[in-house]
Chains A and B, each alone.
Chain A
Amino acid sequence: MSRLRRSMLFVPGNNPGMIRDAHIYGSDSIMFDLEDSVAITEKDTARFLVYNALTHLRYGKKELVVRINDLSSGLGIADLEAIVRAQPDVIRLPKTDSAKDVIECEREIERIEREAGIPVGKTGMMAAIESANGVLNAREIAFASKRLIGIALGAEDYVTDLKTTRSPEGIELMFARGMIVNAAKAAGIMALDTVYSDVNNEEGFINEATMIKKMGFDGKSVINPRQIAPLHAVFTPSEKDLNKARAVMEAIAEANARGSGVASLKGKMIDKPVVARAQYLLEMAERAKTMTVEDI
């Protein structure tokens, strides 16, 4: 099983204070942003800061992601030149409209890896889909590179493209979310949801998180550390669910010992998908367990 990515904390790449402390809030991943949260006049500063943070600061076991500017902006290559050399876990490509965008980016990453003596393929990628076209191409994007750990929805640009606006219940994102989660799971990678911008509306945030978890998303981007705990609470299985999962595992173990692949628990049949779900739940709970100081 790959790592947990329940939460990905956005950190503006030009804010030294936030970069320094990005790891303390318990998000599963940290995403340093060189793109939309950084003004055009600050692009060089952000690139320099993030490069130095990645090469000098310690972020424990956190997954480190850097969102670069898209290649067509004229900034993307410069971002890759610096950032790939700093060896984050993942490069996040914004505004991905087609598989071609992913392949072009991968080509540059591979070139830089070779130049820098980094093992080819070490740098992971994720693609953010932020347009109507991109959503329709979600499947080909998800399959475009072995480096992809997941695809994500970028809702702000997407609703602009649709000529609508975001609503609290997210009706305008239903199709995009459905496409993205399906494409990701088809490709065996993660589906990651967009940000919830109203940081003071915890109830709305929890509702949205509950919905996207139900849809099959593996996690969500967050723009404020205060959103991490409620998000994790949504993604953390309840003790009741865990007990059920443990009972399932025990029942199937017993059945296996008898040489059967099917068991029954309280009158309900337990077959392979039920076991797989129980196993996934228990693994998630194990990974989400207590934090040690090394994790901070």
Chain B
Amino acid sequence: MSNFDFDSIPHIAEVSACHGAYAEENVNEKNLMSFDERQKESKKVLPSIEEAIRRVGLKDGMTISFHHHFRNGDYVINMVMDVIAKMGFKGLTLAASSLTDCHWPLIEHIKNGVIKHIETSGLRGKLGDAVSHGLMDFPVIFRSHGGRAAAIESGELHIDVAFLGAPSCDPYGNANGYNRDSEEGSCCGSLGYAKLDALYADKCIIITDHLVSFPNTPFGIPESQVDYVVKVDNIGDPNGIMSGATRYTKNPKELLIAQYATNAIVASGYFKDNFSMQMGSGGASLAVARYLREKMIEQDIKCRFALGGITGQIVQMHEEGLVKKILDVQSFDLIAANSVKNNRFHQQIDASYYASYLNKGAAVNQLDFVILSALEVDTDFNVNVMTGSDGVIRGAVGGHPDTAAGASMTVVVCPLLRGRIPTICSKVNTVCTPGKTVDVVVTDQGIAVNPARPELYKRFVEAGLPVTTIEKLRDRAERIAGTPESIKYGDKIVGVLMYRDNTVLDVIREVID
């Protein structure tokens, strides 16, 4: 009991009949408007982004945050940054959960000094290229989804103002990744990355294109965390936000890799009733879902929960009763997004619950296995998902290192070669996920098992899988393609890769053309 004295009760000075906020006359009058009228009068709804920025008291040098649930269809970041630039702010830190191709207009804001620093999970396209060529004075900080959550929780990444796009929101700020009141407009399903920003940011502004009636339940972000709501015409291009359904690949090589990966999972010892898994949305990864589904039906095995970025394939398995529960930090397609809306046991989770290193328990720690992709894997099993064969930033860390560290078996799927470039090499350009957390690498030309997992190696051999060593895979790749010339980097560090515990994992240097 804290500070509970209340003059040590007995008769508390023989109380009067009227207490508290209403003790004095004409103070804090009750609102007598009807519910309908109140909504129209909500003080949270502001006419423009500019007005919201003024009200939250944005200052030069502050940290602003955005989410990437709208992927390449996002209008919010560019829209907000244009207003901020016009209002004359300088020296801001932009902390987005990730950035994609469509965010290239940020280059101008960086050049003009509006943005001084960027924190993100990834960069792509023109922006990634410009950063790799030395656009910024201070290096970009790359964090995994779990790492970002931990940094926000620890205060290492303090968000002053969060600008969070939402496909629906009511006048008090209950926001969601879909619109329950109509089928129109944009839809992104889970608001997993935005949820944490709303919770921790000093000020939170929801930007929506569908202002719906209170209460917008069940909500992704509650009104208790929202300062202001701004309605705009469009928060994104629905086609860029997500496609109707992620399609199964017909690429025979991806199918082959998926077949090997599935067989490896089945042989691993982790494929038993009530197992847990995470799959990506890449071609091979999705095909694993299909093949694994067949094995589950064949052997009458059910999955307790599927985690992560969720696809229509996982939803289908959920609706068939093969996957009991879904924990969804990010919905990858419209089927997944609609499932968040309609399926009781398809739960949206925030980035911390998903993968933080610092909280009291993260879902990644309950994974039996995860299927991940890679741009490069080296003979120490380190994985690069960030820089291309030319050294330029063209990827995102995502939940890669988080799930790799959490899962009992981390399976990386990749082709042995991409065009003329070996995927398996002696040293990756950028370490995004440490080799110690990677157990199995599945390529179209054989499966390599981390020597730290001899029992997996033994099981795969017994199952008749094409198992080999990572060195042999590298040799095979280099025999066909040759050893690529090393990339010419300058000394300047343009990016710093933080591991999920907020220690420095690797750096990315400026590319010299």
Which residues does chain A contribute within 8 Å of B466, judged by CB atoms?
Answer: 291-293, 295-296
Residue of B whose beta carbon sits closest to that of A199: B250
Q: With the chains together, A17 CA to B6 CA distance in Å?
A: 82
Residue of B whose beta carbon sits closest to that of A290: B464
- Is B512 interfacial (CB-CB < 8 Å)? no
Closest CB-CB distance, B490 to chain A, in whole Å? Answer: 33
Proximity string of chain B (248-269) to chain A, C-beta cutoff 8 Å, 1 when within and 0 when not:
0010110110010000000000
Cβ < 8 Å to A, chain B residues 461-497: 464, 466-468, 472, 479-480
A24 touching B464 in the complex, CB below 8 Å, given contacts A57-B480, A296-B446: no
Residue of B whose beta carbon sits closest to that of A229: B259
Q: Please state if A24 and B444 are interface contacts (CB–CB under 8 Å).
A: yes
- Is A21 interfacial (CB-CB < 8 Å)? yes
Q: With the chains together, A226 CA to B253 CA distance in Å?
A: 9
Which residues does chain B contribute within 8 Å of A225, judged by CB atoms?
Answer: 252-253, 255-256
Q: With the chains together, A58 CA to B479 CA distance in Å?
A: 9
Closest CB-CB distance, B271 to chain A, in whole Å? Answer: 18
Pick from A20, A25, A226: contact of B417, CB under 8 Å:
A20
- Is A224 interfacial (CB-CB < 8 Å)? yes
Q: Please state if A25 and B467 are interface contacts (CB–CB under 8 Å).
A: no
A226 touching B480 in the complex, CB below 8 Å, given contacts A293-B446, A293-B466: no
Q: With the chains together, A24 CA to B256 CA distance in Å?
A: 8
A20 touching B468 in the complex, CB below 8 Å, given contacts A224-B252, A226-B250, A296-B445: no
A interface, over-half SS: loop
Cβ < 8 Å to B, chain A residues 238-296: 289-293, 295-296
Closest CB-CB distance, A75 to chain B, in whole Å? Answer: 28
Pick from A17, A24, A57, A293: contact of B468, CB under 8 Å:
A293
Closest CB-CB distance, B249 to chain A, in whole Å? Answer: 11
Q: With the chains together, A280 CA to B468 CA distance in Å?
A: 32
Cβ < 8 Å to A, chain B residues 390-419: 417, 419
Proximity string of chain B (419-448) to chain A, C-beta cutoff 8 Å, 1 when within and 0 when not:
100000000000000000000000011110
Q: With the chains together, A121 CA to B444 CA distance in Å?
A: 35
Q: Please state if A293 and B464 are interface contacts (CB–CB under 8 Å).
A: no
Which residues does chain B contribute within 8 Å of A296, judged by CB atoms?
Answer: 445-446, 466
Residue of A whose beta carbon sits closest to that of B253: A21
Q: Please state if B480 and A24 are interface contacts (CB–CB under 8 Å).
A: no
Pick from A25, A58, A229, A291: contact of B464, CB under 8 Å:
A291
Q: With the chains together, A291 CA to B479 CA distance in Å?
A: 22
Which residues does chain A contribute within 8 Å of B250, judged by CB atoms?
Answer: 226
Q: With the chains together, A1 CA to B230 CA distance in Å?
A: 78
Proximity string of chain B (317-330) to chain A, C-beta cutoff 8 Å, 1 when within and 0 when not:
00000000000000
Residues of B within 8 A of A (CB): 250, 252-253, 255-256, 259, 417, 419, 444-447, 464, 466-468, 472, 479-480
Residues of A within 8 A of B (CB): 17, 20-21, 24-25, 57-58, 224-226, 229, 289-293, 295-296
> When A and B form their complex, which 8 residue pairs have the shortest distance between CB atoms, in order from nearest?
A290-B464, A225-B252, A293-B466, A293-B468, A293-B446, A24-B444, A296-B445, A226-B252
Q: List 6 A-B contacts (CB under 8 A).
A: A17-B419, A20-B480, A25-B252, A225-B252, A225-B255, A296-B466
